[in-house]
Chain A
């Protein structure tokens, strides 16, 4: 117990005595982690966007004109029975015309000249979440196209596929950037600890001479690195949050962006905590690295 108190006190003393180096280490770590955080934030938001787009995904099944009411009902039953289908709504030719008029009041005269209602009847199908991936949607709609009564099947495929590809790429970039910047943070902290070790080498030597174990000598430095990492990550989160709020203000009110209802979101509390934990671990690894080979007993 008393030993633990001593070790913590030593770590805090180290941090206090090397205020400048500590400050620089925390700042650089924070900057490094913040760079990674920007990527992560972009990734998280884009993925959320793709997610909500996929939630939004609706397949519109257009029917041939002049189908009997009976066969429309039959098809409706058949489609509804498919395991991929969550729900479906029938839009009659008249309904389609009415929708068009309300959505584009200025252009409604275009249709008037045609006399007969040119808009087809359709089913608007919502798929069960399991089948909302672009692959599954494509497979299902291809199958539906072979039904004779179906004129056309449409969904916003390309759009979602492109975005999904972007997300995958971003994921790769985030992993690569994350790995590089993590290595940078570890190096920064390792160097800071190495400086402390160097500054205190005589003291460390004395500790060895009076019978302190390697662990006892190393623990304050491990603590120091861990604290540096956690502080760096916390500072990074603060920088990110400030930048994020600024960005959001510049963009104005949250609203429809690229066709989806979405305000940008910051990291959830859990993710923020994870980031601090990541910084803490990086700090620990950094000091661990700098302490490698420091256990050798030599006077």
Chain B
């Protein structure tokens, strides 16, 4: 479903990613690990078409996005969800309005949007705060809003960049549980993190980057999808 072939991305002539080959199948839960500066964020940005690779091809649902035209990008993004470390919520709009925004820009009817937004707010466990504004929420709550917004479109893949960035272990564990639930319902999940705790909690495929290169790609023996 997502395939990278010999992908290289340079920043100022230095490769942030170098000759990456990677395949992610439908329903997988992939953890992207690696030290700071390894290229995790860069990889996610390439998938989300926030950057374009300098070499190589990227297939997302059979579509080559390595050379996508700018006007096509919004339509691709509507089929993906992205969770940002810094949340990227609109501070002056309520939680409900924030989560409804991806539907609004597509022209989904008011009635359908309302139903869908309530559904994901509940799934993310933040429906009781739907009239609050993001700056008044705790980091964990904001992250839940961000996740709700990312899945409101029913995306085929959910990409998350350091979703547990500066959270304490309990909160981090709650957020990861939420990702596991979303994955269990069929959405492919890719999470970039350097939090070891997350690896143990998820216990699924771990792709490790080091200085822009693919260092290792491990699947635990217990990964049921490998066994099947």
Chain A residues at the B interface, C-beta cutoff of 8 Å: 2-3, 6, 202-203, 205-214, 216, 295-299
Contacts and interface: CB of A to CB of B under 8 A. Distances in A.
Nearest to A299: B50
Contacts of B71: 213-214, 295
Contacts of B213: none
B70 A295 contact: yes
Given A3-B104, A298-B50, A211 B110 contact: no
B49 A207 contact: no
B107 A3 contact: yes
A2 B107 CA distance: 7
Interface residues of B, number: 27
A296 B49 CA distance: 12
Contact of B70 (A3, A202, A297, A299): A297
Interface in B74-88: 74-75, 77-78, 82, 84, 88
B180 to A, nearest CB: 24
Nearest to A6: B104
Given A203-B90, A297-B70, A211 B106 contact: yes
> Secondary structure of the A side of the interface?
helix
Contact of A210 (B45, B75, B102, B109): B102
A211 B107 CA distance: 12
Given A212-B74, A212-B105, A216-B105, A297 B49 contact: yes
Among A2, A297, A298: residue with most chain B CB under 10 A: A297
B101 interface: yes
Contacts of B88: 202, 205-206, 209
A294 to B, nearest CB: 11
B73 interface: yes
A2 B149 CA distance: 19
Contact of A2 (B78, B82, B89, B110): B110
A296 B105 contact: no
Given A6-B104, A211-B105, A214-B71, 8 more contacts: A3-B104, A205-B88, A210-B149, A211-B75, A214-B74, A297-B70, A297-B73, A299-B50
A31 to B, nearest CB: 32
A47 B101 CA distance: 56
A130 to B, nearest CB: 56
B151 to A, nearest CB: 12
9 contacts: A6-B104, A209-B48, A209-B82, A209-B88, A211-B102, A213-B105, A295-B70, A298-B50, A299-B45
Contact of A211 (B50, B51, B74, B84): B74
A36 to B, nearest CB: 38
B77 A211 contact: yes
A3 to B, nearest CB: 5
Nearest to B152: A210
B74 A208 contact: yes
Contacts of B101: 207, 210
A227 B153 CA distance: 34
A208 B207 CA distance: 28
Contacts of B153: 211
A202 B78 CA distance: 19
A296 B105 CA distance: 18
Nearest to B77: A211
A291 to B, nearest CB: 14
Nearest to A3: B107
Contacts of B104: 2-3, 6
Contacts of A208: 74
A77 to B, nearest CB: 78
